[in-house]
Amino acid sequence: MKKRIIILCSLLFVLVLSACGASEVKEGHEQAADDKVWENIKETGKITVGTSGTLYPASYYPEGSDEISGYDVEVVKEIAKRLNLEVEFKTSDFNNMLASVQNGRVDLAANDIGITEERKEKFAYSEPYKYSYTTMIVRKDDLSGIESLSDLKGKKAGGEATTGYSKIAERLGAEVVAYGNTTNDVYLRDVDNGRTDLIINDYYLQSLALQAFPDFNITIHPDFKFDGSANAVIMSNDASELKKQVDKVLGEMKEDGTLTELSKKFFDGADVSKEPEEDIPSIDELVQQQEDEAK
């Protein structure tokens, strides 16, 4: 009996050691993956960044220039500079941008990318460097026939197929007219000429778009302001060391005023690096509010 107890205890001890060993091996693999991403960047001395090059003022080519610029672009350039790295931008539409992060074609992506719970399951985010909220561009003369959110049913909303903004439009019953990696003027002109009825997007981007195309019959709908947002650099989940380095530099840039300076340069004097002071309702709260008012 004593011998059997000793054998059982020995087996349990071996199992505990095996479990600990497996845990250590798993942790070691995860750490190795983390190190591999960052070590590769340090070895090459270069960081590759996915962006669109068509989203003013986040990522675009200034008229007459072949050098990409914009708020997000210049933030990343400064991050790279402080990490003693060169930076290479690879332009694509939003879907391919995220796919490139996942397959390692780029190290990170920066393109006015909102932080969402759904994306957190697949990607890692840096600390935010832009805060905003969602608004809706419509035709100026008749607000595209939209007086309440229920009026979006059957309307046509311009956007990229899988963005959060397009998902909001679909949820509210609009038909999404999908575009590829195209410039702002194409989206805006289509609302102006009636091919589409609205564009749901970021408030600051839409405000500057209106300034850029004053002859278009478009405006920001005065009654809809919702879903406060935070935007950040997006990376693969196995790039924790890269995230650590990026977060450290972003903290320094926020502290020394660099983010504020860049923001004011690209957003007509506004400081998007700080959260809005006003209380912005979520889309759920706004829908509920309109439903209550309709009763």
Same domain, 239 and 224: no
Q: What is the mean pLDDT of residues 268-291?
A: 90
The DSSP letter of residue 123 is E
Burial zone of 250 (CB within 10 Å; 0-12 exposed, 13-18 middle, 19+ buried): buried
State the residue range of the domain holding 78: 39-129+232-255
Sign (positive or negative) of CA dihedral 262, 98, 165, 116: negative
Same domain, 250 and 107: yes
Look at strands 86-91 and 46-51 and give their pairing: parallel
pTM for the full predicted model: 0.82
Q: Please check whether residue 220 lies inside any domain of the structure.
A: yes
Same domain, 118 and 147: no
Same domain, 64 and 118: yes
Residues 249-259 have pLDDT tens digits of: 999 999 999 99
Same domain, 154 and 289: yes
Identity of the amino acid at 72: D
Say how far residue 27 (Cα) sits from the centre of its chain: 29
Q: Please check whether residue 178 lies inside any domain of the structure.
A: yes
pLDDT over threshold 70, residue 29: no
Q: Please check whether residue 88 lies inside any domain of the structure.
A: yes
d(CA 277, CA 284): 20
Q: Please check whether residue 22 lies inside any domain of the structure.
A: no
Q: Please check whether residue 28 lies inside any domain of the structure.
A: no
Report residue 11's pLDDT band, with 50, 70 and 90 as the boundaries.
very low
Q: Please check whether residue 27 lies inside any domain of the structure.
A: no
Same domain, 67 and 197: no
d(CA 262, CA 270): 10
Report residue 30's pLDDT band, with 50, 70 and 90 as the boundaries.
very low
d(CA 129, CA 274): 8
Which CATH number fits the domain that encloses residue 51? Answer: 3.40.190.10
Query: Which of 32-41, 77-86, 161-170, 274-283 is predicted with the least confidence, judged by mean pLDDT?
Result: 32-41
What average pLDDT does the structure give for the chain?
Answer: 89
250-257, Cβ contacts within 8 angstroms, sequence gap of 24 or more: 250/75, 250/79, 250/126, 250/127, 250/129, 251/127, 252/82, 253/75, 253/78, 253/79, 253/82, 253/129, 254/129
Report residue 99's pLDDT band, with 50, 70 and 90 as the boundaries.
very high
Q: How many CA atoms lie within 13 A of 96 on its CB side?
A: 9
Same domain, 68 and 142: no
Report residue 35's pLDDT band, with 50, 70 and 90 as the boundaries.
low
Percent of the chain with pLDDT over 90: 79
Give which of 90, 70, 80, 30 is closest to 241, Cα–Cα: 30
- SS percent in the chain: helix, strand, coil, step 5: 50, 20, 35
Residues 144-159 have pLDDT tens digits of: 999 999 999 999 999 9
Same domain, 65 and 188: no
Task: Report how many domains make up the chain.
Answer: 2
Say how far residue 33 (Cα) sits from the centre of its chain: 24
Same domain, 167 and 200: yes
Q: What is the strand order of the sheet 123-125 is part of?
A: 86-91, 46-51, 108-109, 234-236, 123-125
Q: Please check whether residue 161 lies inside any domain of the structure.
A: yes
Q: What is the mean pLDDT of residues 167-188?
A: 92
Same domain, 289 and 175: yes
pLDDT over threshold 70, residue 33: no
Phi, psi for 53 (deg, rounded to 5): 75, 5
Residues 71-83 have pLDDT tens digits of: 999 999 999 999 9
Q: Please check whether residue 32 lies inside any domain of the structure.
A: no
Same domain, 44 and 109: yes
* Alpha-carbon radius of gyration of the chain: 24
Same domain, 240 and 99: yes
Give which of 246, 295, 255, 291 is closest to 79, Cα–Cα: 246
d(CA 169, CA 137): 12
